[in-house]
Amino acid sequence: MYWYSYVMGTAGVYTSAHLLFDFINTPNHLCLHQWTPQASTSVSPIATSSPPAALASSGLLQSAFLAAGAKVSALDINPSKLTLTHERLHIAKADITSESELESAFEEARLKFGVIQCCVALASLDLSVLPHVSLIDIAAEQWRRTFQVNVEGTFLTAPTWLRQIKAHATPETRNLSLVIICSESGWFGERTNADYASGKSAVQIGLVQSLQNDIMRIHPGARVNAVAPGPVDTAQFKKECKENPIGAGISGIRGALTFEAGKAA
């Protein structure tokens, strides 16, 4: 098994081999939004076959930034699934498809730890929860729901964070970073998940590249990047890919995100 990632933004596209940990320059306050589906959702129960699901459910990403000294606000539609506790960790409920819930959660985080310097948009319906079917068999409701969460939810997140930056960050504030989790599927497609691949393509190409030309006009110290992982070594992925003997961990994605949150990005 293997994984690789693209980091995409104003500096171009890089493979994960070029990424370095940058704990020294980690932002003072970082906000992660995640999506841990509840049993009542219309998709299948959460598994751990993809990077976003694995990172969100395990607390690895929160732990990485906490270890770096950051104050972390973690937002999730099902916050009871986030079991990590720390004096510098704030957990709140937010459905990213709800503009009002996002606004409320971001303001709650700001009042707790101050202006959010880095926003990691991690939440999405990924390949571990979506039914895998041919394009001719995808229900219109599945297509709409995937786009509502993965595209519209990410879109709502970006201006919610940027409005906070515009209102509360000073002109001297630096290291303001929006990191959007995308996928290699947005580049190469998914035969049995055209909804997922199309949504990721819309975000990592259309949204990110539009934002990179707009974000600096909102604040001169702000930037946007995308991290687009491939498959990683998790229990579910092992089950699905027993014939592939090459192993790799998900810690590299953690490294990519901590790098993008730092001043060296």
Q: What is the pLDDT of residues 150-190, one digit of tens each?
A: 999 999 999 999 999 999 998 888 889 999 989 999 999 99
- According to DSSP, the residues that pair with 47 across neighbouring strands are none
String of b and e for 62-98 (b: at least 16 CB within 10 Å)? Answer: bebbbebebbbbbbbbbbebbeeeeebbbbbebbbbe
pTM: 0.74
State the amino acid at position 106 in one-letter form.
F
What distance in Å separates the CA atoms of residue 186 and residue 177, rounded to the nearest whole number? 22
Do residues 196 and 127 touch, judged by C-beta distance below 8 A? Answer: yes
What distance in Å separates the CA atoms of residue 6 and residue 227, rounded to the nearest whole number? 6
Do residues 236 and 128 touch, judged by C-beta distance below 8 A? Answer: yes
pLDDT in tens, 73-131: 988 888 888 888 899 899 999 899 999 999 999 999 999 999 999 999 988 888 878 99
Burial class (CB in 10 A: 0-12, 13-18, 19+), 246: exposed
H or E stretch including 7?
strand 5-9
What distance in Å separates the CA atoms of residue 102 and residue 119, rounded to the nearest whole number? 12
pLDDT in tens, 29-61: 777 766 554 433 322 222 223 334 434 444 777
Q: Are strands 222-229 and 5-9 parallel, antiparallel or unpaired?
A: antiparallel
State the amino acid at position 117 in one-letter form.
Q
What are the structural domains of the chain? 5-261 (3.40.50.720)
Task: State residue 50's pLDDT score.
Answer: 37
